[in-house]
Each structure stands twice: as C-alpha cells, then as structure tokens.
Structure 1
Amino acid sequence: MSKKNAFYAQSGGVTAVINASACGVIEAAREHSDKIGHVYAGQNGILGALREELIDVNQEDADTIAALRHTPSGAFGSCRYKLKSLEENRAEYERLIEVFKAHDIGYFFYNGGGDSADTCLKVSQLSETMGYPIQAIHVPKTVDNDLPFTDNCPGFGSVAKYVAVSTMEAALDVASMCATSTKVFILEVMGRHAGWIAAAGALAQQQEGDAPHIILFPEVAFDKEQFLKKVQDTVDQKGYCVIVASEGAQYADGTFLADAGTTDAFGHKQLGGVAPTLANMIKSELGLKYHWALADYLQRAARHIASATDVAQAYAVGRAAVEMALEGKNAIMPCIVRDQGPQYGWSVGEAPLSEVANVEKMMPKEYISEDGFGITQAGRDYLLPLIQGEDYPPFKNGVPQYAKLKKVLVAKKLKGEFKP
C-alpha cells in the first residue's frame, strides 16, 4: 500500500500556541516519512482546501518548523468559514474530498474548535461513502476553553495567564491613583457563552481582598442593581474597584449586555463591547470616574507571556493526532486528561468526534462563588496549574523572533475555480 499525503489546516480565531500544535503535527509526520508522504497546509484554513490553495510544507526547513512552537497566530492562515450541513451544501464536502483525492491526501488534521470538529467528522463520514476514505483527526484549539471531554483546551492556558497578569498590573496602577483619579477599571475579555477566561482574572488575587473585585460570567445572569451596589461598596471600602467582564455577560432573559445586532460567519451574534456599556452604566448611576480596556486580540496573541504548560499541551496534541492516525484511528480528537491526586499532571487521551462536535463546556457552578462575582477554591485549583511556567520566545533587538514561512503553493490539479 502506497503512503498517503497529509493535509493540515487552522480554523477560527487563532491563539498564542496554535502553531505549537502545527509544529507537533509536522514534526511527527516527518518522523514517519515512511508512512506519510508530503505534508500540505491549507492557505487560510479550510478555504485553502476548497480553493485548492495548498502550501507545500516540505519547502520549509526544520529550523523554521521548530520555530513555529514559539510563534503566535496562525502561520498558515486561518479563517472563519463554517461549512453548511451535508443536506444544505453537499458540494462543499465533495469538493474537499476531490481536492484530497487529486493530491493523494489520506490524512486530514483540522486544528480548531467545536465547528471544525463537526467539519472533521462530516469529511470522515462522507469520504467513506464516496469510496475515498480519509482519516480525519481533530486537533483541539480554542481560547474559550469550551470543548467537551478535554480537561482544558490548548490556547486557553496562555490567555488565562495574560488576563491574570494584566488584571494584576492594571489593578496596581488604579490603586496608586484612586485617591484623586480613576475609581473603577473594567477589563473586557473574550468568552461568548463560557466564562473561563474571565474566571482566570481571579488568579491575580494573591490574598483576600485583592483585585479583581468583580467578575462577570455569561453563566450568571447580570443583575444591574446588585452589580452597582457591589461596585459602590467596593469603592467605599477600598477606594477603587477592578472588574473583569466576559464579552458574553447577559441578562436573565439571555440578552447580551452588548449585542451589536449583527452576526459573524459562524452565525454567532456580534458583541459590541460590554466594557463601555458597563462604564456608562457606572458613570450615569454612580458618577464614578472610570477607565476600561479591551483585551481583544492582545489576549490571544501574547506569545511572549505564554504558559509553558499550554505550549507543551498544544505541541503534544499535534503529535498525538499523527500517532493516532498512523494507528488507524479516525474521527477522534486527542484531548488533555488531568491526573487524579493533589499534584498536577496530565496525559493525552482521545474522544470521539461524534460527541465533541458543536458541544460547549460551560463553567461548572461549583467553580463560581455564591454571590456570582468570583470563583471558588475549586475553580482556583482547576485554573492555577494551567498558567504555570514560562516559555519565552528568543529575543533580538528587544523584540521576539518569530517564524516566517515561505508558503510555497502546490500546483493545482483540478480544473476551474471553486468559489465558496
């Protein structure tokens, strides 16, 4: 049996460590060159496959691939493009398989969140019925930490570390100026439906009473009256109040505090900024001076302060995906399994895509404090190991040195252009 080529693609919002997973996939594939031929990567994610825009990874040298481990963002390009259901647009899936067949691709490694897990599963299922079976392995990635089965998601630990450090440093700034200046500081972080990232802000607390004083989770219905009372009481007691707010903070009826009234490519509601919404509320109701900040892309691009645990796990699931494919496994996702016992440890397990796709993991109630504005000790025990360790990129002239790929495209073999 002739060896097959492999296709790797990055999907959705990128992270500080998604390229570490790419590094793991590529290095593992190269170590098994007797079983895997060329490694191709999709230019701009799954769109690269649909458009037959395949990057020849074999054109990149070993040092460049190794440098991916400490390079943020999506080195091959990502995209927010959700394939419709098989019933709605079977042609897209058939196109993927046509491209894979034309380039003798037998392994599909899709690095993303819940939507990409669904795509991965469908490609595996349809390829079988079309007589060209493809081993599809989903490589987990999401800063939101909301994939099921895996203890945590690669990408989350580094965002959690960034948010904890940023909260701590901003709180020191506000505390030093609160006598005559800012009384309230709000940091808005990502997290549409799950409050994991906001919860990580609590790791800034070194002792009781430290900032952040209020955390707003999507899982806890926002109560304006209780919130404003908590803000005022905190300012009265401490002189200032630091808030970490999830972008997905919402009222009891499910309405987002900052619903912009539009949707993105995945059909998700676009959120218009919960921090300024809260700031205006505080100004109009309490008359307090405020500042707010949007962590936005900074939180997911901050490779310079990545969690060493996160980097190691991202790389490990990339390697594991290749090993699992070579073992004949299909339609699965390598996942992080936390060791039992007081000492933190982890290993790589696996989960079926049929149970992963389109499922969101929310913050457990036992991780959220009784008043809904903080985390419990159980929540801290879960989060703290994920931000441990430093894995600095190399620096030159004061700035990090990141991988720069040639991104040489393979010649197209199919006729005509496909326009998704």
Structure 2
Amino acid sequence: MAKKNAFYAQSGGVTAVINASACGVIETARQHKDSIGKVYAGHNGIIGALREELIDTSKETPSTIAALRHTPSGAFGSCRYKLKSLEQNRAEYERLIEVFKAHNIGYFFYNGGGDSADTCLKVSQLSETMGYPIQAIHIPKTVDNDLPLTDNCPGFGSVAKYVAVSIKEAGLDVASMCDSSTKVFILEVMGRHAGWIAAAGGLAAQEEGDAPHIILFPEIAFDKAKFLKRVDECVKKYGYCAIVASEGAQYADGSFLADSGTVDAFGHKQLGGVAPTLAAMVRQELGLKYHWALADYLQRAARHIASATDVEQAYAVGKAAVEMAVAGKTGVMAAIVRGKGKRYSWSIGEAPLEKVANVEQKMPRNFITKDGFGITEKAREYLAPLIQGEDYPPYKHGMPVYARLKKIIAPKKLNTEFKV
C-alpha cells in the first residue's frame, strides 16, 4: 500500500506548549518514512484544510522543528472554527475529504480541546462513509484542563505554574504596601466552567496567611454577602486580601458575574471581566482600596516559566498520536495516565473519542474546601506534580529565542475555492 501524507492542525486558544506537541508529531513522522510521507500543517487550523492552505513542514529544517519544543503560541496558526454536523453542512466535510484526497492525506492529527475532539471524531466516522477513510487521532490541548479520560491536559501545567507564581509574587507586593496602600488585590484567570486554573493559584499558599486568601470557582455559586464578609475578615487579620477569580465565576442561577452579552465562534458566552466587577463590589460595600489584573493571554503564552512536566507531556502526546496512527488506530485520543504510588509518574494511554467529545471535566467537589474559597490537600496532591520542573528556552541578548517558520504553502491542486 502506498504511503499516505499527514495533516496536522492546531485548534482553539493556544498554549505555551502546543508547539511541543507539533514538534512531537513532525519529528516522529519523519522517523516513520516508510509509513508517512509529508506532514502538512493547516494554516490557521482546520480552516487551512478547507481553504487548501497547507503548510509543507518538509521545507522546515530539523533545527527549526526542534525549536518548536520551546516556542509558545500556535506556530502554524490556530482558529476557533467548529465543523457543524454532516446534516447541517455536508459541504464542509466533502471539501475536507476532497482536499485530503488531492494531497494524498490519510492521517489527520487534530491538536485541541473538546470541540476539536468532536471534529476529529466526525472526520474519523464520516470519512469512511464518504469513500476515503482517514485515520484521525486527537492530541489533547487545553489550558482549562477540562477534557475527560486524561489525567490532565497539556498546556494546563504551565498556566498553573504561571498563575501560582504570579499570585505569590503579587501577594508579597501587596503585603509590603498594605499599611498605607492597597488592601485588596484580584487576579482574574481563565476558566469558563471549570476552575482548574484558579485552583492552581492555591499552590502559592504554603503557610497560614499566604496569598491567595480567596479563590472563586465556577463550580461554587457566588454569594456576594459571604464573599465580602471573607474579604473584610482577611483584611483585618492579614492586613490585605489576595484573590484569584475564575472568569467563569457565576451566581446560583448560572448567570456569570461578567457576562458581556456576546458569544464567540463556538457559541460560548464572551465574558467581560470578573475582576473589575468584584473590585467595584469591594469599593462600594467595604470602601477598600484595590488593584486588579487580568492574566489573560499572558498566562497561556508564558513559555519562559513553563512547567518541565507539561513540556514533556505535550511532546509525548504528539509523538504517541503518530505511533497510534502508524499502528492502524483511528478515532482515539492520546491520553496522559497518572501512575499509582506516592512518587509521581505518568505514561501515555488512549481514550475513545466517543467518550471525549463534548464532555467537560469540572473540578471535583472534594478538591474545594467546604467554605468554597480554597483548595483541599487532595487538590494540592493532584496539582503540585503538574507544575514541577523548569524548561527555559534558550536566550540571546537577554531575550528568549523562538522558532521562526518559513510556512511555505504547498501548491494547490484543486480549482475551486471554499469560503469559510
């Protein structure tokens, strides 16, 4: 059987280590020359496939591909584009298969979160019915850490490390000035429905009185009176109050504290800033001076402080995806499996996409303290290994050196254009 080419694409919000997964895919594919021809990467994710904009990674040198391991963001371009069902938009799938056929692509590696797992599953299932079977393997990626059937998600460990370090350092700053200045500091972090990132901030609190004093999770209904009471108590007891708030903090009725009234390309509500909302409460009700900060893109782009564990796992799932495809597998996700025993260990397993797609893994209630404002020892035991180790990028003239790709687009073979 003639060997097939592969298609790799990045989806959704990028991370500090998604390119490490890309590195794992491309380097491993190059080691399997008998089974895999070229690796094409989608220019701006799955949109690149629909538009037949395929980056020919064979034009990149081994040293450039290797440098992806320490380069943040999505080197090939990502997108927030969810393929509809076959019934809703058959033309998208027909176009996808048409492009894959034209470029002799038989392997599809999709690197993303829950929505990309859904797309990967659909491609795996529907390509056969359309007469051109594609081996589709999902590579997990999400800073939100909300995919099921994997112990954790590549991208999360580095965000967790960034948030824990940031609130620790900001807490020291506020504590040093609290006699005459700021009394309340709020750090807003990502996490729409799952509070994993906010929980990671709790790793900074190693002794009584350490920041953060309050963590707000999407899983725990926000109670304004209870929140303000705790802020007041912390200020009186410690001189200041440091808070880590998930962007998805919500009231008991499910409404977000910071619903902006708009939705993104996936249909998810856009959130407009929980930190200033909380700051306004503190000012109006308690009359305290405050500062707030949005971790925003900084938390997911911070490769300079990436977790070594996260980098290793991100590369490993990319490598495993190729090995699974070469072994003839399809419709599965490369998953991280935590070992048993007190000493942290992990290995790579696989999960069926039928059980991954469109399933959101939230924080277990026993990871959150009874009062709803902190993390338990069980959560700490889970989180701590994921931020272990440092994996600094190389530096030159005081600045990190990141990969710069040529991004040479392969010649188009189809005469038709496809509007996305």
Question: Mapping of 1:33-52 within 5 angstroms?
Answer: 33-52=33-52
**Paired-residue identity, %:** 80
Match of 1:386 in 2: 386
Q: What secondary structure sits across from 1:111 in the alignment?
A: strand
Question: Mapping of 1:285-300 within 5 angstroms?
Answer: 285-300=285-300
Distance in 2 (alpha carbons) for counterparts of 1:200 and 1:86: 39
Match of 2:198 in 1: 198
Distance in 2 (alpha carbons) for counterparts of 1:208 and 1:128: 59
Question: Mapping of 1:241-390 within 5 angstroms?
Answer: 241-390=241-390
Q: What secondary structure sits across from 1:283 in the alignment?
A: helix
Distance in 2 (alpha carbons) for counterparts of 1:352 and 1:121: 9
Q: Which residue identity lines up with residue 92 of structure 1 in the other structure?
A: E
Q: Which residue identity lines up with residue 351 of structure 1 in the other structure?
A: A
Q: Which residue identity lines up with residue 226 of structure 1 in the other structure?
A: K
Q: Does structure 1 residue 134 correspond to structure 2 residue 146?
A: no
Shift of 1:85: 1.4
Match of 2:410 in 1: 410
CA RMSD, Structure 1 to Structure 2 (Å): 0.4
Q: What secondary structure sits across from 1:413 in the alignment?
A: coil
> Which runs of at least 4 in structure 1 moved beyond 4 Å after TM superposition?
none
Q: Which residue identity lines up with residue 189 of structure 2 in the other structure?
A: V
Match of 1:154 in 2: 154
Distance in 2 (alpha carbons) for counterparts of 1:358 and 1:50: 22
Distance in 2 (alpha carbons) for counterparts of 1:285 and 1:392: 44
Q: What secondary structure sits across from 2:291 in the alignment?
A: strand
Shift of 1:412: 0.6
Q: Which runs of 5+ in 2 are unaligned?
A: none
Q: Which residue identity lines up with residue 60 of structure 2 in the other structure?
A: E
Shift of 1:208: 2.2
Match of 1:110 in 2: 110
TM-score, normalized by length of structure 2?
1.00
| Deviation sequence 1:301-359 (CA, Å, 0-9, x none) | 00000000000000000000000000000000000000011110000000000110010
Question: Mapping of 1:2-17 within 5 angstroms?
Answer: 2-17=2-17
Q: Which residue identity lines up with residue 280 of structure 2 in the other structure?
A: N
Question: Mapping of 1:49-60 within 5 angstroms?
Answer: 49-60=49-60
| Deviation sequence 1:194-230 (CA, Å, 0-9, x none) | 0000000001112122110000000000000000000
Q: Does structure 1 residue 27 correspond to structure 2 residue 27?
A: yes
Q: Which residue identity lines up with residue 281 of structure 2 in the other structure?
A: M
Distance in 2 (alpha carbons) for counterparts of 1:323 and 1:166: 37
Distance in 2 (alpha carbons) for counterparts of 1:117 and 1:99: 20
Q: Does structure 1 residue 401 correspond to structure 2 residue 404?
A: no
Question: Mapping of 1:171-210 within 5 angstroms?
Answer: 171-210=171-210
Match of 2:212 in 1: 212
Distance in 2 (alpha carbons) for counterparts of 1:187 and 1:46: 33
TM-score, normalized by length of structure 1?
1.00
Distance in 2 (alpha carbons) for counterparts of 1:366 and 1:387: 21
Distance in 2 (alpha carbons) for counterparts of 1:109 and 1:406: 21
Match of 2:234 in 1: 234
Q: What secondary structure sits across from 2:7 in the alignment?
A: strand
Q: Does structure 1 residue 92 correspond to structure 2 residue 82?
A: no
Q: What secondary structure sits across from 1:404 in the alignment?
A: coil
Q: Which residue identity lines up with residue 255 of structure 2 in the other structure?
A: T
Match of 1:166 in 2: 166
Distance in 2 (alpha carbons) for counterparts of 1:126 and 1:274: 41
Shift of 1:415: 1.2
| Deviation sequence 1:125-158 (CA, Å, 0-9, x none) | 1110111100000000000000000000000000
Distance in 2 (alpha carbons) for counterparts of 1:209 and 1:186: 16
Q: Which residue identity lines up with residue 145 of structure 2 in the other structure?
A: N
Distance in 2 (alpha carbons) for counterparts of 1:303 and 1:245: 22
Distance in 2 (alpha carbons) for counterparts of 1:211 and 1:97: 52
Q: Which runs of 5+ in 1 are unaligned?
A: none
Q: What secondary structure sits across from 2:16 in the alignment?
A: coil
Distance in 2 (alpha carbons) for counterparts of 1:406 and 1:142: 26
Which segment drifts farther, 396-405 or 123-132? 123-132
Distance in 2 (alpha carbons) for counterparts of 1:344 and 1:94: 45
Distance in 2 (alpha carbons) for counterparts of 1:200 and 1:355: 26
